[in-house]
Structure 1
Amino acid sequence: MNNEKQKLSVLIITLNEEQHIQSLLEDIDFADEIIVVDSYSTDKTVSIVESFKNVKLIQNHFVDYTSQRNFALDQAKNSWILFVDADERLTPELKSEIVTAINTENKASAYFIYRIFMFKKSRLHFSGWQTDKIFRLFNKSKCRYNEERKVHEKLIVNGSISTLKNKIIHYSYSSYEDYKSKMYNYGILKANEKFKRGVKPYFLLLLLHPLYTFLYQFIIRFGFLDGSKGAIICYLNAYSVFIRYKELRRITSSRI
């Protein structure tokens, strides 16, 4: 039996993350390797990263989230990977659980981690985020991101899957305009993904799918219990769906 301590590579993809990156890099000092793959940031992100001597900076042009994550995977020298976004933070309990998980005898190939969504400095309890979980910790020899997905990446796992108990804190919403811009970009990427799959841009979908998204998250997923914060998040998520179909119609008509 191999009792050698497993080493962990923490991977981060960035673009103009000067607001978050320093706190994150200070937060993940338990890693054996830290790699930041930056999409040629124009703010202070690069200089902040370079100030950390234990962090490897690689710049790579951004095409989509999946290809950027797979590129980052190929740079890591260790089998065990922890992907962290710049606006995420790990609690001490989660760090300890991660180290224990990758060194246990009956370890899984990949682990889901639940996320706590922060609206500025307060927690969002509902609005569809209460069950948000994502693959963040996995063995790269058994996992790869599905190249057909351009955003909201899907990890293909060859092996067993488990879920960690402790959660990542996700500081996704810092301002209305910042989050709206993020949702706009997600919509553009999703439109291109759907276009490549041959999805038709029906006008009814442009009208009804955003409305359905808002009502589902605000009512069925209890967004109304988050008050005005829930209304804003549900609206912006619906806005992203609207941009998706608007852009899909534009792409499709330009190719005719």
Structure 2
Amino acid sequence: MRPLSIIYTTHNEIDIIERSLATVAGWSDDLVVVDSFSTDGTAELLAGRPDVILRQRAYQGPAEQKNWAIERARHEWILLLDADELVTPALRQEIDALLAAAELPYDAYWIGRDNHFMGKRIYHSGWAGDKVVRFFHRDRARYDGKQVHEEIVTEGLRVGWLRGRLEHYTFKSLEHFLDKTRRYARWSAQDYAARTPRVGFYHLLVKPVYRFCKHYLLQGGFRDGREGLMISAVLAWGVFLRYAYLLTGRR
């Protein structure tokens, strides 16, 4: 069987990292966590684990941090995870089967994610079709340069699908959701700066309203109850903040 490298990038993940690590226990001799100087005890916890290779590095951006780790992976095939993602037994078995095969037919693989918010599984609200490329060949895949929602560049790659899924516990609380949305909006403003020469009424009102309607009505957020309403409203607020940061940053 081919060996597997597992990579995490972390910052202040003390609440969830052990749950995620438990789902990959005993799977790899190259389990690397690149931590951007956590202050909540995450680094100390990881330093005490003999199965984890801890590397601390200043954070310059999500894609840059992940690409740095990918280039240093010991093995050709990589599973890259966030601390709030849990590998299901079915996904682990499927990856093992691929690693044991004579040849892998693809360079990278999409993996679907089941999202949870405030302890509840979210079936709608635009999160139902969530997917990420997280299992890939080290020498063929790299992340794009986005500050928010960075993705593996799939152009020119053979990309397949895995049936197994990740359990994604993305927001622990409403406060956590708000903090993360504010941070993402600030970073997203950098991504949108070049393609938004002027911020106006359309960006500050029409786009946020449309985003709310999209998640809550078109994508069935109302079917997720109060959690769906909060998701839709906060994501719309994030769109407003993106352009507000972009507007004020140009003054």
Task: Return the match for 1:78 from 54, 70, 75.
Answer: 75
Alignment match, 1:32: 29
Out of 173, 184, 187, the position equivalent to 2:185 is 187
Is 1:134 matched up with 2:129? Answer: no
Map of 2:213 onto structure 1 = 215
| Separation of aligned partners in 1, 2:161 and 2:187 | 28
Match of 2:243 in 1: 245
Q: Deviations over 1:94-127 (max 9, x none)?
A: 1111122233324310100000011222211100
Preserved contact between residue 87 and residue 170 of structure 1 (Cα < 8 Å): yes
CA contact (8 A) 1:146 1:154 kept: yes
1:46 maps to 2:34: no
- Determine which of 108, 111, 114 is the counterpart of 1:113: 111
Could you list the per-position Cα deviations for residues 109-146 of structure 1 after superposition, in whole angstroms to 9, with x for gaps in the alignment?
01000000112222111000111111111112111111
Q: Could you tell me how far 1:219 is from its partner in structure 2?
A: 0.5
For 1:117, the aligned partner's letter is N
SS at match of 1:37: strand
Between 198-207 and 187-196, the greater mean CA deviation after superposition: 198-207
Q: Partners in 2 of 1:220 and 1:197 — Cα distance? A: 26
Give the count of matched residue pairs.
Answer: 248
| Alignment of 1:12 onto 2:8 | yes
Cα distance in 1 between the residues matched to 2:19 and 2:232: 28
SS at match of 2:205: helix
Deviation at 1:51, TM superposition (A): 1.6
CA 1:198 to 1:225, structure 2 compared with 1: closer, same or farther past 3 Å?
closer
1:123 aligns with 2:121: yes
Provide Cα deviations, 1:32-58, integer angstroms capped at 9, x if missing partner.
311111111111101111121121111
Partner of residue 62, structure 1: 59
Q: Which residue of 2 aligns with 1:98?
A: 95
Contact 1:195 1:252 (C-alpha < 8 Å) held by counterparts? no
Which residue does the alignment assign to 2:157? 159
CA–CA distance in structure 2, aligned partners of residues 198 and 103 of structure 1: 48
| Alignment RMSD | 1.4
Q: Is the 8 A contact 1:180 1:236 kept in 2?
A: yes
8 Å CA contact retained: 2:118, 2:174: no
Unaligned ranges ≥5, structure 1:
none
Q: Separation in 1 of the partners of 2:200 and 2:108?
A: 38
Residue-by-residue CA offset, 1:206-226 (whole Å, 9 max, x unaligned) = 111111111001111010100
Match of 1:230 in 2: 228
Q: 2:17 aligns with which of 21, 24, 29?
A: 21
Per-residue CA deviations over 1:68-111 (Å, capped at 9, x if unaligned) read 11111122111111111111101111111112223332431010
Q: 1:198 to 1:233 in 2, by over 3 A?
A: closer
**Offset at 1:198?**
5.5
Deviation readout 1:125-179 (Å, 9 max, x if unpaired): 10001111111111121111112x1111121134211111111000112100001
Counterparts of 1:63 and 1:177 in 2: how far apart (Å)?
Answer: 24
Does the Cα contact within 8 Å between 1:80 and 1:140 map onto a contact in 2?
A: yes
Q: Secondary structure at the match of 2:22?
A: helix
Q: Residue 142 of structure 2 aligns to a residue in which SS?
A: strand
| TM-score (norm: length of structure 1) | 0.92
Shift of 1:228: 0.6
Paired with 1:11 and 1:252, the residues of 2 have a C-alpha distance of 37
SS of structure 1 residue aligned to 2:79: strand
